[in-house]
A and B are shown apart, each in its own frame.
Chain A
């Protein structure tokens, strides 16, 4: 939606001025090829910094998004580089919302955060990182494909 149009959902998307939405929104359509991960990492860090997170939190948010994308590449598309991943990062009134959509295999829910945290097993760290960094995470299957949504709240210091 152009930013000069009234937005009925303006109450949860960025700053509003007279009912007009003012928010930062970033969309990517990327092949499921790990070569493109660095491109997304290069964009999400500055976006998170602009919203208001510090350097350490920006690194953590970048890592969480990268882990989510890597999971799609590895588990939904089984490392085939010709799948499509649609990514949307949207500033909201209280932070950031990240949405990934893919048309690969649905995630195996039994393997999400199945690993014990802090143990010496090498696999399964990614979903723990995502859960630890983001405030809410959901995985759902929809007619459009597998949808991953993660939200992080910006906690303003008084």
Chain B
């Protein structure tokens, strides 16, 4: 799994590539929790995720809850088929703000 972070205005865009599983999700979780307080918005690009398991989805839920506590925005965009499949099976997609593109994810207030 590779993670990169870049600044776009007052937002941070986090790109994740590869597999998020039991072995890699602690790094995924730590990165998101460290990045969230440093920007008004955290936009997570999921397009290059080849695989994500329930520990990855649990991390997304935890980060969403923390964003609400910190009054930050946490949005997702570019869902890969692997991510869509897990969201479909876990029925949690409704709790997230999900966009097709980075531009749409960053434009929303």
Contacts and interface: CB of A to CB of B under 8 A. Distances in A.
Are A and B co-members of a single complex? yes
Interface of A: 33-35, 37-38, 41, 55-56, 59-60, 62-63, 66-67, 70, 73-74, 117-118, 120-123, 125-126, 128-129, 132-133
A60 B92 contact: no
A67 B65 contact: no
The prevalent SS among residues of B at the interface is helix
B53 A63 contact: yes
B58 interface: yes
Interface stretch (B3-11, B19-27, B38-46, B100-108): B19-27
Interface residues of B, number: 26
B58 A63 contact: no
Contacts of A129: 54, 86, 89-90
Top 7 closest A-B pairs, CB basis?
Answer: A34-B23, A125-B54, A122-B58, A118-B91, A122-B61, A34-B22, A126-B54
Given A129-B54, A129-B86, A122 B62 contact: yes
Contact of A56 (B54, B81, B95): B81
A34 B91 contact: no
B91 A73 contact: no
